[in-house]
Amino acid sequence: MNRSVYLVFLLGFYLPFEDFILKWFPMPEKAYLILRQAPDALVLSLALVIFLKSVFESRLSVVSKKSSFFLLMFMGFALLTVVINNSSLITAVLSLKALLRYVFLVYILCWIKPSEKQALAFIKVVIALAFVEATIGNLQYIGGDAVLEFFRPRELSGEMGIAFTTVTGDEVFGTMAYTISYASFLLIGLVFLFVFGTRVGLGTAAIGAGAAYLFAAILFSGSRAAFLSAIIAGGLYIFFKRGIRVVFYLTPGILVLLFVLLYADKGNTSRDFLFFLSPQYLDNLESQRLGMVRIFLDYLTSADRHLLYGLSPDKQFLTDYLAMNYRMPYLFSEKMLKAFEDVYWLALLFYYGIIGLSFFALTLYYLYKKLMAFNLLADVDGFRKDALLACRILMLLLIPLNLVNQTFEVRQFSFYLWAFMGLTFSVLSQPNGKGTVLKR
């Protein structure tokens, strides 16, 4: 196996446990934060090394020419927005890094070409890790403060604490720093279990029991975004495998099960999922996310040319701009900044404008279109067909997930999404059992 494949897989095994491992090493807070950035730096360095080697050996290839083109256009335009607005270049580069840090895994894995067997081994480990994390999360849910404190990430103070906040209270988080990181990782494990369960040797009963276990763990995490996305993932899997008629027949049973699950923990408001149907929740949204969507869109559309090219992701620049032009500095207090980014599609529009968001959306669109083109080929069957299905489900889940969370920046979800997409395109570009190479 190529040593680079070992490195990528090792990172995949390390990331879910990173914050739990690092908390036990005595070190200054700056060193702690630097070590948390090591996986990002490693992926970017590996991409650069493999890119240069491929250029020198004249064997450079891209996953999708159109998708790669629009990705470059987005990156270039994001930097141009900084120049136009005279905002911070460093902040813009760091924001791009958070958004795109693991996108290059697609290219890395396509260049080093791991085999179908290696890709399946990776999937098996992800499913196993998801069950480990779910078990830890369920222990946190029923074990109380003692269990929560044992797994809680290292607490930072002062400016470091503002720059890097972790879970607080009685949230369930597994071995990760954030509840959304934990829940979105379980979501990937759930999708893999749906699609590859029989291929990794599980029977129908085992898959059903495992899916219920992961679904319950996502429910107990308190992440409404991941919970609703898990329901959507199940619906998409049934739709792609069996068609809309089966989804229609199963809907009453799903609604009954959902009703039971939603009332199972109604005493705890933080995990009361029926709360999102109540007038109080809508009032809360109006004063938080929905209100911000309305207000920001009003101001953005009245900001003339800024609607086209955005205001850049520089938070200090945004604060000063809005305070000076619209007298609403309260929207950019420390707490509201994170709440604003939770509506991530809106945040991207605000940062990069219609032009920048269009480039980014076209990058994703042409990747998905490439998956659809492969899916229509007669030679795509077996593992390849399953891999394409899982990729399509995960990409479609990006739409609801980023309406209420900055899931693109969630390190665990981002890593496994792009790594798996790279594995899929790599396997598709290699000869199949019939001796056919599927061209990109």
pLDDT (0 to 100) of residue 247: 58
- Which residue shows structure tokens 């923990």? 265
In a domain? residue 241: yes
The token pair that represents 196 in the structure block: 């590859």
In a domain? residue 434: no
pLDDT at 227 over 60: yes
Q: How far apart are CA 205 and CA 353, in angstroms?
A: 48
Average pLDDT, the chain: 79
In a domain? residue 424: yes
**Helix (H, G, I), strand (E, B), or coil: what is residue 413?**
helix
Q: Which residue in 415, 439, 431, 397 sits closest to 106, CA to CA?
A: 415
Q: φ, ψ for residue 201 (rounded to 5)? A: 95, 15
pLDDT at 100 over 80: yes
In a domain? residue 433: no
Who wins on pLDDT, 134 or 309? 134
Could you read off the pLDDT of 382-413 as tens digits, one per residue?
888 899 999 999 999 999 888 878 888 899 89
pLDDT (0 to 100) of residue 434: 47
pLDDT (0 to 100) of residue 432: 62
In a domain? residue 45: yes
In a domain? residue 244: yes
**Helix (H, G, I), strand (E, B), or coil: what is residue 129?**
helix
CB 139 within 8 A of CB 147: yes
Q: How far apart are CA 308 and CA 85, in angstroms?
A: 12
Could you read off the pLDDT of 243-263 as tens digits, one per residue?
665 555 556 555 655 555 555
Report the number of distinct structural domains present in the chain.
1
The token pair that represents 373 in the structure block: 């083109």
56: exposed, middle or buried (C-beta count within 10 Å: 0-12, 13-18, 19+)? Answer: exposed
In a domain? residue 258: yes
Could you read off the pLDDT of 160-170 as tens digits, one per residue?
444 445 555 56
In a domain? residue 257: yes
pLDDT (0 to 100) of residue 284: 53
Q: How far apart are CA 175 and CA 150, in angstroms?
A: 10
Which range marks the domain in which residue 361 is found?
A: 3-428
Whether this prediction's pTM lies above 0.75 is answered by yes
CB 112 within 8 A of CB 50: yes
